[in-house]
């Protein structure tokens, strides 16, 4: 499923493809649809601004902004369809803190 989104980095329209769309049976026995995105935890957090600008910081900031735009668009699609949207990182997958 392609989800259109507007990138704040290049100000262009792009398409986002989520990692998984799954149907799960909840505790009540009802089927729920969940759109899942798997990302490193670091990419889900805003990067800390360093004392001097570096390429590493610039790239991390662009990645974070792009991901936020993608996830906002995905959440809107899920809300319209009555689905859930979930981002999983290594913390949720492996239980690390």
Judged on CB neighbours under 10 Å (0-12, 13-18, 19+), 61 is: middle
DSSP 19: S
96 pLDDT above the threshold of 80: no
Please give the share of the chain, as a percent, with pLDDT higher than 70: 98
Q: What is the pLDDT of residues 64-83, one digit of tens each?
A: 999 999 999 999 999 999 99
pTM for the full predicted model? 0.87
Name the residue ranges covered by the structural domains of the chain: 3-94
Q: Which residues, 6+ apart, have CB-to-CB distance to 59 below 8 Å?
A: none
Rg (CA), the chain: 16
Q: How would you classify residue 13: left for phi > 0, otherwise alpha for psi between -120 and 50, otherwise beta?
A: beta
Using one digit for the tens of pLDDT, what is the confidence trace for 8-30? 999 999 999 999 999 999 999 99
Residue 88 has phi, psi (to 5 degrees) of: -110, 135
């Amino acid at each position: 499923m392609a989800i259109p989104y507007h990138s704040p980095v290049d100000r262009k329209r792009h398409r986002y493809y989520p990692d998984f769309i799954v149907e799960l049976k909840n505790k009540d026995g009802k089927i729920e649809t969940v759109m899942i995105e798997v990302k490193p935890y670091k990419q889900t957090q805003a990067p800390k601004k360093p004392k001097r600008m570096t390429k590493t910081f610039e790239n991390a900031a662009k990645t974070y902004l792009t991901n936020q735009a993608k996830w906002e668009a995905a959440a809107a699609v899920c809300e319209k369809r009555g689905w859930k949207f979930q981002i999983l990182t290594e913390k949720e997958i492996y239980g690390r803190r």
